[in-house]
A and B are shown apart, each in its own frame.
Chain A
Amino acid sequence: MSFLDLSKREVHVKIVYYGPGRGGKTTNLLHIHEAMTDAVRGQMVSIDTKQDRTLFFDFLPLSIGKIFGFDIRIQLFTVPGQVIYNATRKLVLKGVDGVAFVADSQVSQREKNIESLENLRDNLADIGVDISKIPLVLQFNKQDLAAEGIPLLSEADMVSDLNSVYNVPCFNASALTGEGVFETLREISKTTVKSVARKLMPSLTSGMT
């Protein structure tokens, strides 16, 4: 559920980066944070264990500027992948407007991707959201590992594992180098902000002067 502040004329849109632990969600956000100008990005908050993975979540606010006199702010969140933090994942999902699912393309991670997507579906259902109704994009991350001889899942396999039901936009990516990061962000931002705008349309137009 997006947040509309009529008095401040702000719309807050919440996008969650979801996926298996170690898939590259935090790396996506780090890359976005590094590449954006200060005018756009807010302060990135990372709660971690000093390991290379998220214990809790990352948060990165972005401001996309004014549309129809409203300040549109996008809040990017990541969730912790590990099983024991499912409660946290649910909490972070609360009020979500769109999801970027970051899958790990390594053959060894095949089951974890599927498991995590099912977990997303279940957690969304728990908060009354139908996964097939919410803006969703898939990212097939770590493509660069192919060059190191690490076996990766083919795009066809990834699609059949993760996208045969939802049929949403997919992006190959290497969050480490930044490849595909903005393509993913752009797509999920557009579909999410639009879906929020559609929902808020009555308030938006009546709030205009």
Chain B
Amino acid sequence: MNSGDDKTGIENIESMIDQAIDDLFVPSGGASKADPAQMAKVEAEPPQEEPDEAVDMDIAWGNDDKEEAVDFSEVVEAGDSEGAPSLDILRPLHEALLSLDWEINLHNIDALDEEYKRLGAMTQDNMHAQNAVKMASVCCKYLRASKSLASPLALKFLKTTLDSLDIFLRPPAPNLPSKDALVNEMMGLYNEMKLDANRLRAAALKKREAKGFTTTQQKSAATTAAPSSTSSADLRSELAHVKRTLRDLVELVDKIERALV
């Protein structure tokens, strides 16, 4: 209060702030690399949850003839497939897919898979829908094996499948796009996804050969607070971590609020 002369104006402070930040946040090319020990990594998931390498992602795609055996003979006209599904029956599936799209984790994969099962049971008389659900289920299996290391085409495939289902499950009407064209698009994507998955897997295999298991070892070394139990996919421990962190965060927010009063 005793230094309240004109120099302490806001402009002065602002230029000091600019200066301090310019001096500080310079993208320094020769910046020191982070010491892994500096990182307080809290693993909220048992290590087994995630495949260490894409090599663990090998799943049975089914024989290639299987797709040919799929009956796509029925030809019906369909409509606009943009955006969210128009059919109520597909809403839960859409939501599950959105969740998975935000975060690929076991919980979200299971939820989506459940939705496909439910839908499959409800649409047994619809050949197109049945085939779409079948392929989507294989895709879920792939996601479960590869999680966030999965080919990005997997989600694209699921999204396309949802759009297609939105047409397949509508009553026949004029001005709808051809179901055959949709099936072709789905099949094309499905095959692309398979190729990409195999490509990723081959690349990961090569990497593993070159590196041995160092990656795995480094990963666990960087873990300072891994859960003691490395048993199965343990959602409970994940939730416990989340709870604890939430509590800490709430406390932090409270502290800040108290300090402001």
Contact, CB under 8 Å: A182 / B43:
no
Given A64-B20, A186-B25: A3 in contact with B42 (beta carbons within 8 A): no
Question: How many chain B residues have a CB neighbour from A under 8 Å?
Answer: 61
**Given A33-B34, A36-B31, A44-B40, A193:B99 Cβ within 8 A:** no
Do most interface residues of chain A lie in helix, strand or loop, or is the interface mixed? mixed
Chain B binding surface, main DSSP class: helix
In the complex, the answer to whether A55 meets B103 with C-beta atoms within 8 Å is: yes
Stretch touching chain A among B60-68, B129-137, B195-203, B246-254: B246-254
| A48–B13 CB distance below 8 A | no
CB of A91 within 8 Å of the partner chain: yes
CB distance from B207 to the nearest CB of A (A): 16
A residues contacting the other copy or chain, number (CB 8 A): 67
A179-209 Cβ-contact flags toward B at 8 Å (1 or 0): 0011101100110011001100100111011
Kindly list chain B residues whose C-beta atoms are within 8 Å of the C-beta of A205.
1, 3-4, 8
Q: Is A81 an interface residue (CB 8 A)?
A: yes
Task: Say yes or no: A49 contacts B25, CB within 8 Å.
Answer: no
User: Cβ of B44 and Cβ of A56 under 8 Å apart?
Assistant: yes
Contact partner of B246 (CB less than 8 A), chosen from A4, A88, A108, A204, is A88
Complex CA–CA separation, A94 to B104 (angstroms): 26
Residue A168 lies at the interface, judged by CB distance under 8 Å to chain B: no
**Residue of A33, A40, A83 with most partner-chain B CB within 10 A:** A83
When A49-B105, A68-B8, A92-B249 are in contact, do A43 and B27 touch as well, CB less than 8 Å? no
Interface bits B33-54 vs A (CB < 8 Å: 1, else 0): 1100011111111010110000
Given contacts A44-B39, A190-B17, A197-B17, whether A37 and B105 have CB atoms under 8 Å apart is no
Min CB–CB distance A181 → chain B (angstroms): 7
| A148: min CB distance to chain B, Å | 12
A45 CA to B245 CA in the complex, in Å? Answer: 11
Question: With an 8 A cutoff between CB atoms, is B208 at the interface?
Answer: no
Is B69 an interface residue, CB under 8 A from the partner? no
Let me know if B173 is at the binding interface, CB within 8 A. no
Nearest CB of chain B from residue A192's CB, rounded to whole Å: 10
Contact present for A49 and B34 (CB under 8 Å): no
Distance of A189 from chain B, by nearest CB (Å): 5
- Kindly report which residue of chain A lies nearest to residue B241, judged by CB atoms: A47
* Chain B residues whose C-beta falls within 8 Å of the C-beta of A40 in the assembled complex: 24
Whole-angstrom distance between the alpha carbons of A37 and B95 in the complex? Answer: 43
The yes or no answer to B98 lying at the interface (CB within 8 A) is yes
Q: Within the complex, which residue of B4, B238, B250 is in contact with A91, where a contact is CB–CB below 8 Å?
A: B250
- List 13 contacting pairs A-B, 8 Å CB cutoff, sorted by A: A20-B102, A21-B103, A45-B42, A47-B42, A50-B44, A50-B47, A52-B149, A81-B102, A82-B108, A84-B108, A91-B250, A186-B21, A193-B21
- B residues adjacent to A (C-beta < 8 A): 1-4, 8, 10, 13-14, 16-18, 20-22, 24-28, 31-34, 38-45, 47, 49-50, 95, 98-99, 101-105, 108, 147-149, 152, 156, 219, 238, 241-242, 245-246, 249-250, 253, 256-257, 259-260
- Interface of A with B (CB < 8 Å)? 1, 3-5, 12, 20-22, 30, 33-38, 40, 43-53, 55-57, 62, 64-65, 67-68, 72, 80-85, 88, 91-92, 94-95, 108, 112, 178, 181-183, 185-186, 189-190, 193-194, 197-198, 201, 204-206, 208-209
